């Protein structure tokens, strides 16, 4: 998340230098972009957690069906 946020903040900073008279609008834009990036990353992390949960459950099922020890898949 850090790199994306730095890029967004840099873009907002450049816009702020060009449009100093519109600082209030830019503050709202900055808050909106920060919230958007945060929401995007939250959805990615939720998706990765779901995939990991499915891998663990599949491995557990396979362990029950065979004598193979439980192993977690890693991406």
Q: What is the pLDDT of residues 3-55, one digit of tens each?
A: 676 777 777 776 666 666 666 677 777 888 888 888 888 888 888 888 888 88
Residue at 21 is within a domain: yes
**pLDDT value at position 74?**
57
What pLDDT sits at residue 36?
A: 80
pLDDT of residue 35: 84
Any domain includes 71: no
* pLDDT surpassing 60 at residue 57: yes
Residue 9 included in any domain: yes
Helix (H), strand (E) at residue 22: none
Tell me whether residue 74 is in a domain: no
Nearest to 56 by CA among 72, 75, 74: 72
Q: Which long-range contacts (CB under 8 A, 24 or more apart) does 33-42 make?
A: 33/8, 34/5, 34/8, 34/9, 37/1, 37/4, 37/5, 37/8, 38/1, 40/4, 41/1, 41/4
Q: What is the pLDDT of residue 54?
A: 84
pLDDT score of 63 more than 70: yes
Domain of residue 22 covers 2-65
């Amino acid at each position: 998340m850090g790199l994306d946020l730095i890029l967004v903040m840099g873009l907002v900073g450049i816009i702020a230098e060009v449009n100093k008279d519109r600082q209030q609008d830019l503050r709202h834009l900055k808050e909106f972009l920060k919230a958007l990036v945060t929401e995007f990353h939250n959805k990615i992390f939720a998706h990765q957690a779901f995939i990991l949960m499915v891998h663990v459950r599949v491995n557990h099922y396979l362990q029950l069906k065979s004598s193979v020890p439980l192993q977690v898949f890693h991406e």
